[in-house]
Structure 1
């Protein structure tokens, strides 16, 4: 099986997982998709399809990790302090709060 065939099968399996989520009216997001793919992998008996499931899961996990890393990098120094002050938290708990 060449790389193109593997990519096609991987895309097909991802599509099947998305359709199952939609049929169940479940949320369609990265974590739900990963969960569904893992569930399908657990019951798959065909070795070629198992390999494709493993590839699909690894690809999606890589994308999720990159997105998480990018989101962390978007937080600028001082932003956490702004969030704390807006949420009522302070660096000195119990000081400066009005009850």
Structure 2
């Protein structure tokens, strides 16, 4: 699947900004990401990257949804697609996770 150069550049710029925040052990929030992207834009000499940075900053600022709310909790589903009461993302790959009868050695 091919993506446009603009989308790829956008992803790279956001990735660079997030990685720099993580390397500094700083918080990764909407505000810190926008600030880092603005700092990158101020130092950037490539007009194409400057334009992409400006577009990314506008897009993030236009979004009223905090990062934490973007990935809403969804009900867990088992392998058959049925809702499960499971609270984490661990589930058995084979069977129901219970040991078989006495006759099963392996």
- TM category, shorter: 0.5 to 0.7
C-alpha separation between the residues in 1 aligned to 2:34 and 2:46? 19
Greater RCO (CA < 8 Å, at least 6 residues apart):
1
- TM-score, normalised relative to structure 1: 0.61
| Runs of 4+ more than 6 Å apart | none
What residue number does 1:75 align with? none
C-alpha separation between the residues in 2 aligned to 1:60 and 1:40? 15
Q: How many residues align?
A: 65
C-alpha separation between the residues in 1 aligned to 2:65 and 2:20? 24
Which structure carries more helix by proportion?
1
Question: Unpaired runs of 5+ in structure 2?
Answer: 67-106
What residue number does 1:47 align with? 47
Q: CA deviation at 1:26?
A: 0.3
What residue number does 2:20 align with? 20
What residue number does 2:59 align with? 59
C-alpha separation between the residues in 2 aligned to 1:11 and 1:59? 13
Question: Unpaired runs of 5+ in structure 1?
Answer: 69-99
- TM-score, normalised relative to structure 2: 0.57
Q: CA deviation at 1:7?
A: 1.2
